[in-house]
Amino acid sequence: MFNSLRQAMAWLHTWFGLVLGYLLVVIFFFGSLSVFDREIDRWVLPETRFEPQVIPSYSEILEDAFSKLTPDPDELAEARTRVEGELPENLRVLFWGAYTTHRDPTLSIFAEYAIPNNPDDPYDHIHGHATIDPRNGKVLSEDHLNIGSEFFYPLHYSLHLHWKNLGYFIVGFAALMMLVALVSGVVIHRHLFKELFTFRRDKHYQRRVLDLHNLTGVAALPFHFFFALTGLIVFAYIYLPVSETLLAKPAFEYAMQEAEEKGLPFEAAGIPAATASVDEMMAEAKRIWALRDAAGEVGFLLVNHPGDQNSYVSVFRAGTDTVSLVGQGIHFDGHTGELLYEDPVHTAIAGLNEFLIGLHLQHFEHWPLRWLYVFGGLIGCVCIATGFLFFVQKRKRELKSKFGLRSVDAFAVTTITGMLLATVAILVANRLLPADTAGKGSWEIAVFCLTWLLSMAHAFWRSAALKKQALSPAWHEQSFAIAALALSAVLLNWISTGDHLLVTLAEPYWPVASFDLVLMVVSLLSFIIARRLHRKVTVALVGAQPEERKREEVSRA
């Protein structure tokens, strides 16, 4: 079938890239946005525009907030189908938890509840969660969608397809095939370093597109390879859930044995007992970290078996200045406040795993590296987009099926400009919809999905022009729409909140100021690109007219 390895790799690179490229653009783009998901949340939720906060006092804020947590209604309804008889009105709390980072003004709190009477799983449980203002404990509305952390970020790794974890597996397969595409791309490009510095802008359009594809692919090759690999590592427990299936019993027994060795009660005693001062435990943990020359704030707090004689409190250092998500934990007896156990230094394997996961999720404080992540992800989008364009231009005269060619181009438009259009549309919807709109988050998601669907319909409709010119008009038409909507989002933020750039730069409040600046840059670049593409389409149409007249004269004759 193939005369050489290079030919085989070229076929593999082309068709895997084409089929999965649409999906990989979405993963890359929303992964890039997720680097600043907390900052996007500040833009879309004006009531959260205040400075990042540390974990507040347990006695003054957290204890009351934890006590008001309730199980997630959907999880509770599903749990009722798994048990024999009725569930008790008040489920036993297994633990309360709170987590924050150096970028979070709000505080995420959560709980786990025991589900009794499940014949198939005696340790069945469900969860509850809420977001609060750590300054006063006020619970933020669930109708308000954190577009950055609750929509863009999960779209990056799960596509919001949660049935049987289908989205995770689709993204995982795409990441695996991306590694194949990267390796095959290296085999194809024998002059790797030469192509790293080659971009012939004076050549014809098809050559320039291929040069840009090669340049972006080679320049960011280590970045793309690393993130595809670590993305698979992050969700390895989902792709290979041996600890929950094949090795479920040994894993459970090991967890019990490990808890016993550490002196941390695995199960509740069933005897009510008062909880000692958690604030003093957090203060003691901070004192111990300072003695280790690792002074820091609490980033993660767990209160296990609250109100029980076997309760214990786990305090973890914030991972702001480390690659790991959180530092090592210190555990206290919840009833007496006595120090029970300090986590040892990670083993080499565990440390490497924490490092790779932490480097992928980038919860650490390093702003230049964050922007490098964004640019690396966007370069990946450019690499795939130019691959689409090259495929269409090269095969425009070769393919007998014009429908196949139109489909490739229309899906490329949908994936690239359509995705950007949907992204800015959800931001415009966020600013247009009143804050007290019932189900506001659902309406915003509906606008996002509808805009993306309409962009696809528009792309297919306008792809009919491919037989007359080099590019579909949908490219520049949707680019003009992106420019208009991105600028509208900035203006609507000003009108609806009063937080225009002069205000946010003067404070300064960078989460909102930088996002407004990014939207303005997107608007300007989209307009410039749209103008150039429009001129190219116009020139192609003018050049095609004499040829069409000649065909008409021949047909008449």
Task: Determine whether 401 is exposed, middle or buried from the number of CB atoms within 10 Å of its CB (0-12, 13-18, 19+).
Answer: exposed
Give tens-digit pLDDT for 214-237: 777 777 788 888 999 999 999 988
Give the pLDDT score at 244. 72
Name the DSSP letter for residue 345: P
Give the pLDDT score at 399. 52
The answer to whether 471 touches 537, Cβ cutoff 8 Å, is yes
Looking at 255-269, 276-290, 501-515, which range is the least confident one? 255-269
- Peptide bond before 508: cis, by omega within 30 degrees of 0? yes
What are the beta bridge partners of residue 302?
97, 314
Mean pLDDT of 546-553: 49
Give tens-digit pLDDT for 171-192: 999 998 888 888 777 777 666 5
Give the pLDDT score at 526. 96
Nearest to 331 by CA among 233, 398, 271, 261: 261
State the Cα angle at 26 between 21 and 27, rounded to 5°: 95
Tokens standing for 465? 């022009």
Query: How far does CA 43 lie from the centroid of its chain?
Result: 17
In the chain, the N- to C-terminal Cα span, in Å, equals 45
The answer to whether 493 touches 431, Cβ cutoff 8 Å, is yes
Q: Residue 552 above 60 pLDDT?
A: no
Give the pLDDT score at 294. 85
State the Cα angle at 14 between 8 and 18, rounded to 5°: 145
Nearest to 478 by CA among 389, 408, 412: 412
Q: Residue 410 above 60 pLDDT?
A: yes
Give tens-digit pLDDT for 3-20: 666 667 776 667 676 778
Give the pLDDT score at 449. 97
Residue type, 24: L
Query: Which span out of 463-467, 469-473, 502-506 was modeled with the highest average pLDDT?
Result: 502-506
- DSSP codes joined into one string, 382-428: HHHHHHHHHHHHHTTTT-S-HHHHHHHHHHHHIIIIIHHHHHHHHHH
| Contact partners, residue 201, CB within 8 Å, separation at least 6 | 208
The answer to whether 474 touches 412, Cβ cutoff 8 Å, is no
Nearest to 213 by CA among 477, 13, 443: 13
* Residue 362 binned pLDDT confidence (cut-offs 50, 70, 90): confident
Q: Residue 421 above 70 pLDDT?
A: yes
| Contact partners, residue 416, CB within 8 Å, separation at least 6 | 25, 381, 385, 388
* Residue 545 binned pLDDT confidence (cut-offs 50, 70, 90): low
Mean pLDDT of the chain: 86
Q: Which residue has the tokens 């300054």?
A: 135
- DSSP codes joined into one string, 490-543: HHHHHHHH---HHHHHHTT-HHHHHHHHHHHHHHHHHHHHHHHHHHHHHHHHHH
E strand or H helix at 371:
helix 367-394
Give the pLDDT score at 300. 95
What are the backbone dihedrals phi and psi of residue 286, each rounded to the nearest 5 degrees, phi first? -65, -35
The answer to whether 266 touches 256, Cβ cutoff 8 Å, is yes
Q: What percent of the chain has pLDDT over 70?
A: 87
